[in-house]
Each structure stands twice: as structure tokens, then as C-alpha cells.
Amino acid sequence: MTIEQVIQYIFSGITIGSIYAIVAIGFNIIYNATGIINFAQGEFIMLGGMIAFSINKFLSTFIIYKSISLFITILVSIVITIIIGALLEILFIRRLKKPSILQMVVITIGLSMLIREIALNVWNEQIRALPFFTGNEISSINIFGAHISPQVLWVAGVTTLIVIILSIFFKYTIIGKAMRACSANKTSAILCGINIKNMVTLSFMISAGIGALAGCVVSPLTQTSYDMGSPLAIKGFTVAIFGGLGNSTAAVYAGLLLGILESFSISILPNAYTDVIAIIILLFVLFFRPSGLFISKEKGELKEF
């Protein structure tokens, strides 16, 4: 393996790793606010990409400048997905009184199936993609002899931006602090005058928005199809567990690690087995270190699995 190949693999690993990290962050936000895992998280990414594709097709007929139409497209698609996320929460989750974990798992799995099937009927089984943000399919940037698409930089940049904005939001804004309070102790949060139900809705909206943004950014590279959601959700969960559930910064490291591992595994194993590698890692982490790699052992022992 030459040095150029190694760099090439690392960059492709960073690309897919960033996508996983964004999914994992979406998991973490909802987990932090409610203590549940939203199995429909991958569907938000699919919806973001699919809606953006349709809007872009519509807009590009009368807006000549590609960049303007793309910008509006992404913005509108994020807003629509946020509304969908809020509706899902209000319709299906808000009305539950003291839901058990089994109940939540089953409901979110049901939702993901429902969204997928509706997407199949609204769009179809065709694979779609947004245009590249800068350049096109063949344009590439030369970094140390490796050729990468400029879209890779977009993906990495958006991931970094999301992480920074989220950590500022959770640390320094009052709403972010309220959301963290909900995850720490629900009863005390209620006593402090926090409206827990609204916080849960907000968490669904944020993770839907992040998912939609990710769906738009990766669409030129990985394409969007109606069934991309559930594999992404499994990978995203792997990453979330890998970094420790609820820890968004660690999720980024874990995502990059998994992405790079996966892209190197392609050089040894057939492409069909890349999923298997990720999931075997997930199983091993779950068995031996369910609190995640980036959390100290003492802290991990306090959690219950």
C-alpha cells in the first residue's frame, strides 16, 4: 500500500465517519433529552436528501444561479424535516404516559418502517443525488498525492460546524441548559419550571434538522435512496455507543475512527462485508465496554445497561 493510497483511504474514512458522527449526534440529542433511542434517526437523513432533491429539481427550472437554488433548497428541506420531526413527536410520543423502553423501541422502529414505506411510495426506489456544491463529479483536490472531491471538505466542515454550534448551545444557552437538566433528572427539571414535553419536541426537531442537513451534504457523494436510513441508523448507533451514549464530542472521534477502520477494511475484504465489521465492533463494545471507549471506567460503572 503506497502512501497516496493510505491518505486516500483516510479521507474516504473521514467522509463516511463524519456522516456516522452526525447520525450519532442526532441519537445523542434525543437520548439526552428523553433517555430513549430514536430508531428512526436514519430516516431523517433520507428525508432530508429526498426532499432537497425534489425542491432542487423544482427550483432549478427558474433560478439560474446553482448556488442560490442549492442554498434555498437545503434551507427549505431542513425546515420541512424539522416540521416532520416535531409532528412525529407530537403525534406519537407526546401522548405516552410513562413509556417503557420496550414500548419506545417498538414505536420508533414502527415509525422508521412507516417513513421508509411512505418515502418509497412518494418518490420511488430510484437512487437520487443533489448536484455537487462546488465543482462536479470529476473535480478533485490534490492533497499529498491523494485526490479527494471538494464535497468531502464540505462534509467535514459541516460536521465540525454542527459539533461547535451544538456544544455552545448546550453549554451557554438557557434552552440548552434546560435540555441537559431534563436528561440529568426529570423530576428536578419539572420542579425548576422546565416544560419537559416541549424539550422533548425540541430535541426531536434539532436532531431532525441535523439529520436533514447531513442528508443534503452527503447526497452528492453517497446518493440518497429510500432504504438508506436503517443501515445508517445502525452505524450511527454503533458510533454513539462507541463514544459513550450522550457524549457528542466523543461521537465525532468514534465516528472518524469507525469510518477509517471501515475504509481500510475495504482494501482487505469485499465491500459487502463492511457492515459486518462495524456491527462486530458494536457487539464487542456492547459486551465489554458498554459505557463507551471515551468515558472513564468509573463513570461507566455508574450507568445501567
Partner 1 sequence: MNYKRYLPVVIFLIIIIFIQLLTFVLKVNFYLTQLTMAAYYSIAVIGLCMLMGYAGQISLGQAGFFAIGGYTTAFLTTLNLIKFNDFGLIKFFHEIGIFTLGKNVYGNEILHFSPMISFFLAIFISAAIAFLIGIPVLKLKGHYLAMATLGFGTIIYSTVKGTRFFGEADGITNIPGFKILPGLTVSGNFTERIQNYYIAWFFVIIGLIILINLINSRTGRALRALHGCEPAANAMGINTSRYKLNVFVLSAIYASIAGFLLTHYNSGIGPSEASISKSVRYVAIVAAGGMANIWGTLITGLILNFLSLRGVFGSYDDAVFGIILILIMIFDPSGQVRNTFFNNNYLLKPFKKLIKKER
Longest dimension (CA), the chain: 61
Q: Which of these segments, 14-22, 89-97, 175-183, 254-262, binds partner 1 (CB under 8 A)?
A: 89-97
Name 25's Cβ contacts closer than 8 Å, sequence gap at least 6. Answer: 162, 163, 166, 207, 210, 248, 251, 252
The reply on whether position 145 binds partner 1 by CB under 8 A is no
The reply on whether position 109 binds partner 1 by CB under 8 A is yes
Report whether 285 contacts 241 (CB < 8 A). yes
Nearer to partner 1, 38 or 73 (CB): 38
Q: Smallest gap, in angstroms, from Cβ of residue 138 to partner 1?
A: 29
Q: Which of these segments, 42-50, 60-68, 162-170, 270-278, binds partner 1 (CB under 8 A)?
A: 270-278
Residue 224 has φ and ψ, to the nearest 5°, of: -120, 130
Q: Smallest gap, in angstroms, from Cβ of residue 121 to partner 1?
A: 6
Nearest C-alpha neighbor of 116 from the set 230, 1, 11, 260: 230
Site for partner 1 in 223-262 (CB under 8 A): 230-231, 234, 237-238, 241
The reply on whether position 122 binds partner 1 by CB under 8 A is no
Q: How far apart are the first and last CA of the chain?
A: 41
Q: Smallest gap, in angstroms, from Cβ of residue 269 to partner 1?
A: 9
Nearest C-alpha neighbor of 42 from the set 58, 64, 23: 23
Q: Which x/- pattern over 11-50 shows residues binding partner 1 (rule: CB under 8 A)?
A: -------------------------xx-------------
The reply on whether position 298 binds partner 1 by CB under 8 A is no
The reply on whether position 117 binds partner 1 by CB under 8 A is yes
Interacting residue ranges for partner 1, rule: CB under 8 A: 36-37, 92, 95-96, 99-103, 105-107, 109-114, 116-118, 120-121, 230-231, 234, 237-238, 241, 270-273, 275-276, 279-280, 282-283, 286-287, 290, 304-305
